[in-house]
Amino acid sequence: MEKFNTHTGLVVPLDIANVDTDQIIPKQFLQKTERVGFGVHLFHDSRYLDHAGTQENPDFVINKPEYKGASILLAGENFGCGSSREHAPWALQEYGFKVILASSFADIFYGNCINVGLLPIKLSETEIEQLFKLSPDAQLTLTVDLPNNTVTCGELSFKFSLNEFQQYSLENGVDSVGWTLDKLDTIKAFEAKMPAWQ
């Protein structure tokens, strides 16, 4: 996993609540056995007018010229609800997103983002609302500073928090499997005490 330190990028506002993982990456694109090739299908049903995905929907915010190259997604509440498909953060990441800002995320999606190095940031509803109000003027640029847990936008500055280990893992690009495998003796000791039925 790549290390995450600070990131400055263009914000695209997707002001819709309860965006589910079926909307982020529809099921017909889940048949790959690799981790790549999902970005082009991100938000497929909203982003394209046709099934084949050849005609962009000009009304969908991400397709608007002023938001091309955006790397920060400003999202509505309960973003990422629904399935456990990690393909959703893979698709967001491959499209070019590094950070997602929302007032709330679905639990599994949030964990999946952390595990792939896509930074989900929870801000208060008021703070998210402030950003949505600024963003229609386009070209809203934010700086996210992970070590200092701040989101800065001009004179606005917001604090956010992450679980201690998740913060460490993102900053250091920790191989979480390798980290746990170093504790194999502890796991074996636990297994030795388990009841027979377990």
Summarize as ranges the residues that interact with other proteins (CB under 8 A): 16-18, 20, 22-23, 26-28, 30-35, 45, 51, 76-78, 81-86, 89, 104, 106-108, 111-112, 115-116, 163-166, 168, 176-178, 180-181, 183-184, 186-187, 190-191, 194-198
> What's the closest the beta carbon of residue 12 comes to other proteins, in angstroms?
19
- The contacts of residue 129 (CB under 8 Å, 6+ apart) are none
> What's the closest the beta carbon of residue 198 comes to other proteins, in angstroms?
6
> What's the closest the beta carbon of residue 82 comes to other proteins, in angstroms?
6
Phi, psi of 116 (to 5 degrees): -105, 0
> Alpha-carbon distance 88 to 119, whole Å?
13
> Alpha-carbon distance 165 to 157, whole Å?
24
Start-end of H helices in 117-175: 125-134, 164-172
CB nearer other proteins, residue 71 or residue 166: 166
CB nearer other proteins, residue 86 or residue 127: 86
